[in-house]
Amino acid sequence: MPENNRVPDGAGGIRTGDVSGTMVVGNHNIVNTLITAESGSSVIVHGGPLPDPVKRHPISQLPRAAAEPLIGRGRDVQELQKAIKTRQLVQVWGEPGVGKSALLRHLACELPRGPEGAAYIEAGGRTADDIAQAIFDISFDAPNYKPSLEVLKEHLKTLRLRIYLDDAGFDEKDLRRLFDMAGKSTFVFTSQQRCALDGVHAIRLNGLTALAAAELVRALLPRKLRPEEEPVVEALCDAVHGNPLRLRRIALSAATGKGLPGIADLPALLPALLNKLKPEERDLLYLLGSLSGAELAARHLDELLGRTDADAVAGGLVRHGLLLASETGYSCPPDVAECVLKSRATEYPADQLCRALTVWVEAKDTTPDDVAAHFQALDVAVLRAEKSGHARLGAALARAASPKLALSRQFDAWGSLLGVGWAAAKSAGDKEGEAFFLSEARTRRKAIGRAALTTALALEAGVLWRELAALHAHSAAHQVANAGAAVPSPVTSLPAHTVTTSHVAGHAPTVTHPTVHSSVASGHAHTTLSGHVARPVFDASRASAQPHVASHAAGTHSAAHSAVPIPKRIDLSAHSSVAHSTPPVSTTSPAASTGHTGATAAGAATTKGGMSALAVACTIGFAAVLGVGAAVYATDQPNSTPTAAPSYASAPNLSDYTSSTDDTSPSVDPVCATVSSDLPPKIQQFSTDASSATEAMDSYNTAMGSYNSGETSTAPDDSTVFSNVSTVISDLSSIESTLQGAVEQAQDSSVEADLNGMLTPVQQMKSLYQSYANSAKGTDFDTSSQASAILSAANSLDTDCGE
């Protein structure tokens, strides 16, 4: 990304210590973000002319020229040249190490540019919104300007570029959105899985042929390949499917040993190679292997290893397939990281990593773009610090990096850092740090036009807490995915509940009620009723919600070296998280209070914010069902007790808000207005009734436990449970009817798809509750996936309805 972060005259520049700068964010208003290391960001909204971005001529951001010639890819280059001339969307896909990145860099450097130029972007770990901003920054001279989404689209759609995206791992819907924003440009992108989007010409990159493999090995060997070794290379090429990364390791083995390894030697080849490395090479692999696939620049490696030649050492390891190089640094392949860390039985100390990165972040010559290029390493460092007992150092690093990451205009990367920083501060008991990250989250939300979502004090607090919790969970899942970690699922026993945390990338902890049944005919042989199971953490925001990020993270492999703690469910009450062994707190207070809460949240949501109100209603509504935090109370809630009020020391202040929403909005499907007014109250009612049903199930189970243990002599009555379940079914029927009517009235195909995306899981939920009600013994069921689908569709509807 070009360094166009210079602050306009009079803004004070960007300086170390208190980092200050000015950004213009959004449309119809100028938002000046003044950033200091102590107090964080503040947003001042005022009228005035928007910046006038000037398109660069020519537009050019190309990768460095390859140090080595591209071997064995002549036919692939020809096929891609032909495809790029005739197609607008071209994908190169294939297994890790097959050479996708090397081929894409070659194409970007050697092929003719688009009518207005070319842009090469390393997309690994980044979101579609951040990449769209990067394309804007490359193409237009508009220092410190982050346009609103609509204005961004208007600028990008004028471009006629050839855009190369390496490791575009986000989901197909985000790919389509990105492609549509720059609809006149040609995209050539790489990823590990074939893209099924209409209009994408997907080309699979296979391994090298035997002849090309021999040529590669010859180029890497310090000697000539002997005639008798030719058939051995051919057999080895076949064994590793022509994978260039593995062939490079084979060449290294031949260079450091007596000759080429045999096929039987391949499983043990990597450990044998690592044993032959020099100490400085092993130390470098140990450092990078501890970062779960994140990269560091040569200057970081020198600083952390106390060397001055890390760039040369890393370059040699890249040549032999033991490291990966990018435009900004080096990273360690997962299989190498696993092997190195297994031999060391430890990871590079997180405290040293945090201290060094904090010094670098605060350095005067470290630009916002520098920080943005290494946001994944910052996330990993903070997560590892929290895990290893150095949470305060992790929070300090995130706090130091936040101002510059904000000024980079990569707001999703900024949000990710805020999530891990807030969790680290919370773990360290750093109340001032928690206040800083909540304030930054509020500023970020306001700057990107979502202030209307937080129309009541308690609602604002709830949304921000959940957003930070989800961002932390997303960053941890991303780290797991990059590392390919496989960790046994710990199980913690709780009274009347079992917390089962499954360490699967992209899934948050799940709280599971025991299997339950209604009372049976035989005397005292009674068991408990089953309750629905669904308690993941959700992000209330559209831009930062990344449900897909773990499954699409760059470099998802089978390494099992970096155990990342499962992020705990965040409880907005003053009570402990359910991950602790204290008695669980109900997600709702008494029924009357819960009803008041639902009505208030629904009222706040529907008063202002259009379709955004629906997203909030879904998030807050399902939070009550899924157990994400305590019930949210409005500011006028009388006699709120500590069990219901947020325990946060410095609650977000509603008076900080000044509306930054646009005065005008694009034309949208008329059904959007209907859904935004009709659906939130029904979702809130369902939420209230489903919570009451859960409480009834829990109460019944407790009573049944006492009966089975002999503490009481009368079996409890299950009629209340099934009555509540019947009410929930009625609520879901009402939601179903509203959605069906909206689908029939929808005029926009995207809006119709979003509505169907909500309707289907609602019908599935209804079916699950009906099965439960119809079973003589009750049925164990889980609604977490349906709730997740509904939230995702609601956020998508929010986008497609132009809010």
Give the SS3 label for residue 201: strand
DSSP 575: S
Neighbouring CB atoms inside 10 A of 713's CB total 8
- The mean per-residue pLDDT over the stretch 766-780 comes to 72
Counted residue by residue, the chain has a size of 803
Which of the residue ranges 30-39, 191-200, 596-605, 767-776 would you say has the lowest mean pLDDT?
596-605
pLDDT in tens, 117-169: 999 999 999 999 999 999 999 999 998 889 888 899 999 999 999 999 999 98
pLDDT given for residue 688 in this prediction: 80
pLDDT given for residue 546 in this prediction: 36
pLDDT given for residue 211 in this prediction: 95
CA distances 264 to 98, 150, 235, 260, 261, Å, are 22, 58, 11, 12, 8
Among residues 414, 448, 457, 473, the alpha carbon closest in space to that of 648 is found at 457
pLDDT given for residue 686 in this prediction: 86
Is beta strand 40-46 parallel, antiparallel or unpaired with respect to 30-36?
Answer: antiparallel
pLDDT given for residue 575 in this prediction: 27
pLDDT given for residue 445 in this prediction: 80
- The mean per-residue pLDDT over the stretch 700-714 comes to 78
pLDDT given for residue 715 in this prediction: 82
- The mean per-residue pLDDT over the stretch 238-258 comes to 92
- Going by pLDDT thresholds of 50, 70 and 90, the confidence category of residue 276 is very high
pLDDT in tens, 15-34: 334 455 666 776 544 444 45
Q: Which two tokens stand for residue 111?
A: 């092929």
474 vs 479: CA distance, rounded Å: 9
CB-CB contact of 675 with 611 (8 Å): yes
pLDDT given for residue 755 in this prediction: 92
Among residues 94, 117, 116, 120, the alpha carbon closest in space to that of 108 is found at 120
- The mean per-residue pLDDT over the stretch 459-487 comes to 62
Burial 648-663 (b: 16+ CB within 10 A, else e): beebbeeeebeebbbe
- The mean per-residue pLDDT over the stretch 455-466 comes to 53
Q: Which two tokens stand for residue 38?
A: 């102590």
DSSP 650: S
Among residues 167, 10, 31, 184, the alpha carbon closest in space to that of 103 is found at 167
- The mean per-residue pLDDT over the stretch 343-349 comes to 94
Give the SS3 label for residue 655: helix
CB-CB contact of 342 with 289 (8 Å): no
Respond yes or no on whether the N-terminal peptide bond of residue 58 is cis (omega within 30° of 0): yes
Cα-Cα-Cα-Cα dihedral sign, residues 776, 778, 781, 786: positive
74 vs 498: CA distance, rounded Å: 58
Q: Is 97 left (phi over 0), alpha (psi -120 to 50) or beta?
A: left
- Going by pLDDT thresholds of 50, 70 and 90, the confidence category of residue 270 is very high
pLDDT given for residue 22 in this prediction: 64
- The mean per-residue pLDDT over the stretch 29-43 comes to 53
Burial 504-516 (b: 16+ CB within 10 A, else e): bbbbbbbbbbeeb
Q: Which two tokens stand for residue 181?
A: 């924003």
* Amino acid, res. 131: I
Which of the residue ranges 1-15, 79-93, 202-216, 444-458 would you say has the lowest mean pLDDT?
1-15
Among residues 212, 189, 215, the alpha carbon closest in space to that of 122 is found at 189
CB-CB contact of 620 with 634 (8 Å): no
> Which runs of E-coded beta strand occur in 419-535?
491-494, 497-500, 510-512
- Going by pLDDT thresholds of 50, 70 and 90, the confidence category of residue 783 is confident
CB-CB contact of 371 with 404 (8 Å): yes
* Amino acid, res. 150: E
Please, what is the average pLDDT of the chain?
74
Does 648 score more than 60 pLDDT? Answer: no
CA max distance for the chain: 89
Does 708 score more than 80 pLDDT? Answer: no
- Going by pLDDT thresholds of 50, 70 and 90, the confidence category of residue 450 is low
186 vs 163: CA distance, rounded Å: 6
246 vs 250: CA distance, rounded Å: 6
Does 591 score more than 90 pLDDT? Answer: no
- The mean per-residue pLDDT over the stretch 470-476 comes to 71
- Going by pLDDT thresholds of 50, 70 and 90, the confidence category of residue 41 is low
Does 400 score more than 70 pLDDT? Answer: yes
CA distances 9 to 35, 365, 661, Å, are 16, 19, 27
pLDDT given for residue 614 in this prediction: 53
Does 498 score more than 60 pLDDT? Answer: no
- The mean per-residue pLDDT over the stretch 90-115 comes to 96
Does 666 score more than 60 pLDDT? Answer: no
HEC sequence for 657-710: CCCCCCCCCCCCCCHHHHHHHHHHHHHHHHHHHHHHHHHHHHHHHHHHHHHHHC
pLDDT given for residue 301 in this prediction: 96
Residues facing residue 203 across a β-bridge: 92
HEC sequence for 414-447: HHHHHHHHHHHHHHHCCHHHHHHHHHHHHHHHHH
pLDDT given for residue 215 in this prediction: 95
Cβ neighbourhood burial of 563 (10 Å; 0-12, 13-18, 19+): middle
pLDDT in tens, 280-338: 999 999 999 999 999 999 999 999 999 999 999 999 999 999 999 999 999 999 999 99
Among residues 106, 94, 96, the alpha carbon closest in space to that of 205 is found at 94
| pTM summary value | 0.63
Among residues 97, 67, 92, the alpha carbon closest in space to that of 333 is found at 97
pLDDT given for residue 250 in this prediction: 94
- The mean per-residue pLDDT over the stretch 667-674 comes to 81
Phi, psi of 31 (to 5 degrees): -110, 110
Q: Which two tokens stand for residue 183?
A: 């609809």
Share of the chain above pLDDT 90, in %: 45
CA 745 to chain centre: 34
Higher pLDDT, 762 or 3: 762
pLDDT given for residue 678 in this prediction: 84
Residues facing residue 117 across a β-bridge: 59, 114
> Which runs of E-coded beta strand occur in 94-158?
117-122, 140-141, 145-146
728 vs 685: CA distance, rounded Å: 9
Burial 466-498 (b: 16+ CB within 10 A, else e): bbbbbbbbbbbbbbbbbbbbebeeeeeeeeebe
Share of the chain above pLDDT 70, in %: 66
651 vs 706: CA distance, rounded Å: 40
pLDDT given for residue 525 in this prediction: 38
Strand (E) or helix (H) holding 468: helix 457-483
pLDDT given for residue 447 in this prediction: 77
- Going by pLDDT thresholds of 50, 70 and 90, the confidence category of residue 584 is very low
795 vs 312: CA distance, rounded Å: 47
Q: Which two tokens stand for residue 479?
A: 């780290």
Does 516 score more than 50 pLDDT? Answer: no
- Going by pLDDT thresholds of 50, 70 and 90, the confidence category of residue 430 is very high
pLDDT given for residue 225 in this prediction: 86
